[in-house]
Amino acid sequence: MIELNELKDAAQKAFPADQLSPDRDESWKLIAEMGWLMLPVPEELGGLGLGRDAATALHFELGRVLSSAPLITAMFSVQVLCAADKLANKAEWVERACSGEFITLNMLSNDVTLNDDGTLSGPLYAVPDADMASHVIVFVPGLSVLVPLDTDGVTVTERPLWDESRRLFEVTLEKCPVDRDLVIAEGDRSQEIGLGFKAESLLALAADSLGGATATLEMTVEYLKTRKQFNRPLAMFQSLKHRCADLKTQITAAEALLWSRAADMDASLADMGALKALAADVYQFVTEEAIQLHGGIGLTDEHQCHLFMKRAMLNLSLGGSGDELKERTGRQALAAFAAK
Amino acid sequence: MTEGTELAELRQEVRGWLDANAPTGWRDSNDDHEAFAQSQREWFAKLVEGGYAIPHWPAEWPGGGRNLAEQKVIYEELARADTPRLLLSFVSTYHAASTFFECGSQAQKDRYLPKILEGETWCQGFSEPNAGSDLAALKTKAERKGDVYVINGQKVWSTMAQYADKCLLLVRTSSDGPKQAGITYLLMDMKAKGVSVRPINQIQGDQEFCEIFLDDVEVPVEERVGEEGQGWAVAQATLASERGLTLMELSYRMRGALWRIAELIRKNGLEEDAGVLRDFGHLVARTDSACAIADQFLRNRIDGIERVGDASIVKNTYSRVLREYSLLGTRLGGMEEQYRAPITFGDLNTGNWMADFMNSYAWTIAGGSEEVQRNIISERMLEMQREPKNWVVS
Ligand SMILES: Cc1cc2nc3c(=O)[nH]c(=O)nc-3n(C[C@H](O)[C@H](O)[C@H](O)COP(=O)(O)OP(=O)(O)OC[C@H]3O[C@@H](n4cnc5c(N)ncnc54)[C@H](O)[C@@H]3O)c2cc1C
């Protein structure tokens, strides 16, 4: 059993804090070599069968360095494959995915429909790193299926982001045939799988956000301790101290919720959504403050502030907006506290 | 979260006990101070009898020795059953008890701890008119005369002092050296000659705290905790209990009271108002994170890995969420909340939203203000440079 701390140490060694946004393709190779994709895979499928806190620890660490490798997506898709009950050669698929064949899926909703002739048509939004993926997993009501990206009728268009450490694509299907061997699940089961791992991807985005927020605050505090104005370190000004203390408090409280939700196997989709919304809000605020606290240098392309800020802004929207997620939590709580 | 069978059984047990024993109607009678104090005493005695008053005490005490998960269950159930929070015995079971457990002599432990369970109540006499955040500047003077200290001075903001039997008192025994070094910790009888207490009227109509005037009050030397001049260190044990342990109970109480917001949403027909649902959803997540950080804090403390500043983070989280909670209630309640309604003494989540809002300041000011906690977090945890000491103010 790998200890969480060992995993964190390994991640910090592989992705040192002083190298932000390391090269995507090299990172991806490293991730596959380290066997990280096998963490959530059950032992009977050749994986390590580790709990969600292990994956959460990795996403947190990779968030700290603004990793550009699509680990969040990959873990999502690996788990979908593991849960498949219709897929031919499932074990082989899982092995392929674990050893570095990237299979992507959309992080926002899609408008794909199942045509009467059994083919699929429509766009999938916010598909990470489709350029390096062999397949995309498509969910339509009652069906989930792997679609090879080199099939006729698939177009892949990159939509450049402000956050250059992430790459998102729009994948459009035009009468793409469904290969029966590539069907993952059908009926309610398909829906269940999609929602189950959707919850995990929200947890992952929360971890990514809080890892990034932690790094941003550390960087900012360091800067304030060394930069001098008025013959003293900026850190000595109480107005700045108090802002840093508040950021630290917000990050720490959100992180406590992160670990408690990671361990809570009964957390609902709404609970994970609430966590992601909270974590993304904290990340956004920390990065907003970081630029202000750095002064002019924080607005320069060469400084790192903006890299975190852009990731934070992206994380606000990925996996669903805060508005949507908070409303869902409110609805769930309203139902939980039924009228007396 | 699904609970293990043991916890589920405890929950059933507490629920069953509360069905039979939880006081009802206490909210209506509680705008009368005497009735409030009486109902607090009765409820505390009942809880002691039931074994739920001091789950955080060590196991040798009846009702003590509960682990964190068990404490949580108990607090959640107490909150869910809408029982009164134990304000009158708060300082006794937390501040006084922790001080005795950590720093008291055997004789003090033997004398005072059993008495707390019999209902003896304590107040905290630390703050003074000119020693608030700068507590170490306190001036109440104690002069040693033979076997007694003779005390003169004034304390302020002392919660529930009007009902207290005893007082945790910080006094100055020396003006030499650093101000912390001249402080001594005494246990004072509130009925001693020369002690007078004057309750202070608060903005929400309560009289939670008092001034205490001390005029040649004699305190026997054996009522000193720790050595003369070591009072500052002992006071830290008292304050640490306030910042850490109590917040677990209060966070779970707040969580247990979220139904009040749900009820308000329904009462005002806002069930389909997306903006309101979002605010409620956000508050739920914030409340959950306050519970999670209080949990984590206590786990770290038990594992011996608490860091300086951790308690400050817990306190600043809880106190802010409490403000957000009461503010959301006040907002959702609308005009109705602006009509003065009877208050409920001693509770922070009463559903009288304006009163709850005003009362929420207790936690951003008392026990080291929010700003003072920010100083601790930034200077001691983030290690941001301190300002030079001893500013001269012209
Ligand atoms: C409900 C309640 C119950 C209480 N119960 C008790 C009790 O039982 N026993 C007891 O002894 N005391 C009690 N207190 C007193 C409490 O500990 C003090 O009120 C508190 O320490 C603040 O002191 P002060 O009121 O003198 O405010 P001040 O210290 O005068 O502070 C005024 C403002 O200045 C800010 N400030 C002060 N110093 C700094 C600084 N260094 N940096 C930045 N900002 C600063 C404060 O945060 C605050 O906003 C209670 C207070 C309340 C509100």
Contact A190, A144 (CB under 8 A): yes
**Domains held by chain B: number:** 3
CATH number at residue B376: 1.20.140.10
Structure tokens given for B26: 């206490």
One domain, residues B36 and B86 = yes
CATH assignment, A190-336: 1.20.140.10
* Chain B CB contacts of A241 below 8 Å: 374-375, 378-379, 382, 384
Phi, psi for B286 (deg, rounded to 5): -65, -40
Q: How far is the CA of B162 from the centre of ligand 1 (A)?
A: 20
What is the arithmetic mean of pLDDT over A242-246?
98
Could you say which DSSP state residue B181 is in? G
The span from the CA of B288 to the CA of A267, in Å, is 12
> Do residue A278 and residue B289 have CB atoms under 8 angstroms apart?
yes
- Residue B159 Cβ inside 6 Å of ligand 1? The answer reads yes
Residue where one domain finishes, among candidates B171, B199, B229: B229
Looking at the structure, tell me whether residues B266 and B175 fall in a common domain.
no
State whether the Cα torsion A62-A63-A68-A71 is positive or negative.
Answer: positive
How many angstroms separate the CA atoms of B389 and A171, rounded? 63
Determine the residue of B89, B364, B369 to mutate for testing ligand 1's pocket, defined as the one with the most ligand atoms within 8 A of the Cβ atom: B369
Please indicate whether, in this complex, the C-beta atoms of B382 and A233 are within 8 angstroms of each other. Answer: no
Interface touch B271/A334, C-beta < 8 Å: yes
B262 and B355 in a single domain? The answer is yes
Q: For residues B184 and B284, state if they share a domain.
A: no
End residue of a domain, out of B229, B245, B263: B229
Residues of A in contact with B387 (CB under 8 A): 236, 238
To which residue do tokens 């703050």 refer?
A: B127
**Band of the pLDDT at B85, cuts 50, 70, 90?**
confident
User: Is residue B102 in a domain?
Assistant: no
A274 touches chain B (CB under 8 A): yes
Task: Give B186 Cα–ligand 1 centroid separation in angstroms.
Answer: 21
Q: Average pLDDT of B313-321? A: 96
CB atoms within 10 A of CB B189: 16
Question: β-pairing, B148-159 with B141-145?
Answer: antiparallel
Q: Chain B residue with minimal CA distance to A335? A: B262
Question: Of A151-155, A313-317, B65-69, B269-273, where does mean pLDDT reach its minimum?
Answer: B65-69
Mean pLDDT of B76-94: 88
| pLDDT tier at B244, thresholds 50, 70, 90 | low
Question: Is the shortest distance between the CB of B202 and ligand 1 below 6 Å?
Answer: no
CB B99 within 8 A of CB B106: no
- Between A90-94, A176-180, B42-46, B86-90, the lowest mean confidence (pLDDT) is in B86-90
Average pLDDT over residues B274-282: 98
Instruction: For residue A256, give the nearest of B259, B289, B377 by CB distance.
Output: B289
pTM greater than 0.90: yes
B266 touching A, CB under 8 A?
A: yes
Compute the distance between CA of residue B233 and CA of residue B184 in angstroms, rounded to an integer.
Answer: 9
Q: Is B77 a catalytic residue?
A: no
Tell me if chain A has a CB within 8 Å of the CB of B384.
Answer: yes
B20 touches chain A (CB under 8 A): no
Q: Could you tell me if the CB of B365 is within 6 A of ligand 1?
A: yes
Which of B295, B374, B379 to mutate to test binding with chain A, by most A CBs within 10 Å of its CB?
Answer: B374
A339 near B CB under 8 A: yes
Q: How far apart are CA A186 and CA A139, in angstroms?
A: 10
Of A225, A135, A129, A205, the closest CA to residue A173 belongs to A135
For residue B316, pLDDT beyond 80: yes
**Same-domain status, B291 and B239:** yes
Are residues B377 and B238 part of one domain?
A: yes
Query: Is B106 contained in some domain?
Result: no
Regarding the beta carbon of B173 and ligand 1, being less than 6 Å apart is answered: no
pLDDT value of residue B243: 66
Which of A228, A285, A213, A203 lies closest to A66, judged by CA?
A213
Residue B363 structure tokens: 């936690």
Could you give the CA distance from residue A23 to residue A62 in angstroms, rounded to a whole number?
A: 13
Same domain, B280 and B366: yes
| Statement to judge: residues B268 and B373 lie in one domain | yes
Q: A108 falls in which pLDDT band (50, 70, 90)?
A: confident
Q: Residue range B158-165: average pLDDT? A: 96
Average pLDDT over residues A35-42: 94
Do B131 and B262 fall into the same domain? no
Average pLDDT over residues B335-363: 91
Question: ∠ at Cα A128 (A126, A132), nearest 5°?
Answer: 140
pLDDT at residue B279 greater than cutoff 70: yes
Distance, CA of B290 to CA of B316 (rounded, Å):
9
pLDDT above 70 covers what percent of chain B?
A: 96
- What's the one-letter identity of residue A68? S
| Residues B127 and B238 grouped into a single domain | no
Mean pLDDT of B286-311: 91
Which of B365, B374, B376 for a ligand 1 pocket mutation test, highest count of atoms within 8 Å of Cβ?
B365
The CA distance from A263 to the nearest CA of chain B, in Å, is 10
Listed in sequence order, the DSSP H helices in B210-352 are: 231-243, 245-256, 259-267, 274-302, 310-333
pLDDT of residue A114: 95
Average pLDDT taken over every residue of chain A = 95
* H helix intervals, chain A: 4-14, 24-33, 52-64, 71-83, 90-98, 187-226, 238-263, 269-294, 305-317, 322-336
Instruction: Please report the pLDDT score of residue B1 as a whole number.
Output: 43
Chain A residues closer than 8 Å to B312 by CB? 249
- What is the average pLDDT across B159-183? 96
Q: Looking at B77, B128, B208, B242, which residue is catalytic?
A: B242
Cα–Cα–Cα angle for B284, B285, B287, rounded to 5 degrees:
65
- Give the H or E element holding residue A122: strand A120-128
Query: Is the distance from the beta carbon of residue B372 to the nearest atom of ligand 1 less than 6 Å?
Result: yes
Same domain for B248 and B224: no
Residue numbers of B between 276 and 305 with CB closer than 8 Å to A: 276-282, 284-286, 288-290, 292-293, 295-296
User: What integer pLDDT is reported at residue B33 of this predicted model?
Assistant: 82
What is the band of B307 on the pLDDT scale with cuts at 50, 70, 90?
Answer: very high
User: Is B67 among the domain residues?
Assistant: yes
Chain B (148-167) residues lying within 8 Å, Cβ to Cβ, of chain A: none
Best A237, A252, A268 residue to mutate vs chain B (most B CBs within 10 Å)? A252
The shortest CB-CB distance from A256 to any of B276, B296, B382 is to: B296
Average pLDDT rounded to a whole number, residues A90-113: 94
Please tell me the distance from the alpha carbon of residue A275 to that of residue B394, in angstroms, as a whole number: 50
Using the Cβ of A225 and the Cβ atoms of chain B, whether some distance falls under 8 Å is answered with yes
A51 pLDDT tier (thresholds 50, 70, 90): confident
- Provide the residue range defining the domain that includes B80: 5-94
Banded model confidence at residue B221, pLDDT cuts 50, 70, 90 = very high
Query: B147: which strand partners?
Result: none
Same domain? For B56 and B195 the reply is no
| Strand B122-125 to A232-233 pairing | unpaired
* C-alpha angle A155-A158-A161 in degrees, rounded to nearest 5: 155
Residues in B closer than 8 angstroms to A278, CB to CB, are 282, 285-286, 289
Q: Which two tokens stand for residue B315?
A: 């306190």
